A = this chain, B = another copy of it.
Amino acid sequence: MEYVYEAPVLTVDAVIFQLINNELNVLLIKRNLEPFKDTYALPGGYNPKGETTMKAFERVLSTKAGIKKDNLQLIEQLYTFDTVARDPRGHAVSIAYMGLTRDPKIKESSDTEDPKFFPITKLPKLAFDHESIIKYAHERLSSKITYTNAIFALLPKQFTLTQLQQAYEAVLCRELDKRNFRKRIMALNLLKPTSKYFTEGAHRPALIYSFQKQGLETSPQLID
């Protein structure tokens, strides 16, 4: 085994989700380099020696999209893809991470590449296999919110039950029964009611809740 070892190119790709107008959106940039120049793609970049994959993810996200890691409430590694013909230098390996945010400040900088959020139902044509990576991330997220409180990462710290339900519906892409949803979510004891109400429009104000804990918790079968 002790020949001269040369490692493949290592990259990271970022799938950043956010809720906008009760729709799940994903962050894309427009590539300014070949291949796939001017095509939309997930933010991604090289992972050099000495930098952990997580740090590379954070750096790439910051430089390419102007989003800092403090704006991500949850980060999860998804999968590692062998990418052929991605990099002009040949075979490359790419680690995909998913990040959830509730309201990122996209800071323009010299190095950003026109970062924008797109509803997952209306994606433009994408570079590489990024469409399938997004699909994979979406499935992971859908399943994750059914057995954890991961949805907290997409919501403000305080929210009404209707907002919570809409967040679930946006991720799962289907409607949920209001009474059954509330019954279940309350039975899990993940939420705590505040004493505040959210008044908006000509109707009864909604009680505001927050999560008991901010971190990720696993609970027995939230939604099925």
Q: From B7, B48, B50, give the contact of A47 (CB < 8 A).
A: B7
B50–A91 CB distance below 8 A: yes
Segment 75-122 of A: residues with Cβ below 8 Å from B: 77, 79-80, 82, 90-91, 93, 95, 111
B48–A93 CB distance below 8 A: no
A177 vs chain B, min Cβ distance (A): 20
Q: Is A187 an interface residue (CB 8 A)?
A: no
B93–A10 CB distance below 8 A: yes
Q: Is A73 an interface residue (CB 8 A)?
A: no
Q: Is A185 an interface residue (CB 8 A)?
A: no
Given the complex of chains A and B, what is the CA–CA distance between A90 and B50 in angstroms? 7
Number of copies: 2
Chain A: how many interface residues by the 8 Å CB criterion?
26
Known contacts A7-B10, A8-B48, A93-B10: does B77 contact A54 (CB below 8 Å)?
A: no
Known contacts A7-B10, A10-B7, A10-B8: does B47 contact A91 (CB below 8 Å)?
A: no
Q: Inside 8 A of A80's CB, which chain B residues have their CB? A: 53, 77, 80, 95
B45–A1 CB distance below 8 A: yes
Given the complex of chains A and B, what is the CA–CA distance between A80 and B80 in angstroms? 7
B10–A91 CB distance below 8 A: no
Segment 1-38 of A: residues with Cβ below 8 Å from B: 1, 5-10
B7–A49 CB distance below 8 A: yes
Using CB atoms and an 8 Å cutoff, list the residues of chain A in contact with chain B.
Answer: 1, 5-10, 45-54, 77, 79-80, 82, 90-91, 93, 95, 111
Q: Could you list 25 A-B pairs, sorted by A, with CB under 8 Å?
A: A1-B45, A1-B46, A5-B46, A6-B48, A6-B49, A7-B8, A7-B10, A7-B48, A7-B49, A8-B10, A8-B47, A8-B48, A8-B49, A8-B51, A9-B49, A47-B93, A49-B91, A50-B90, A51-B91, A52-B82, A53-B80, A54-B82, A77-B80, A80-B80, A93-B95
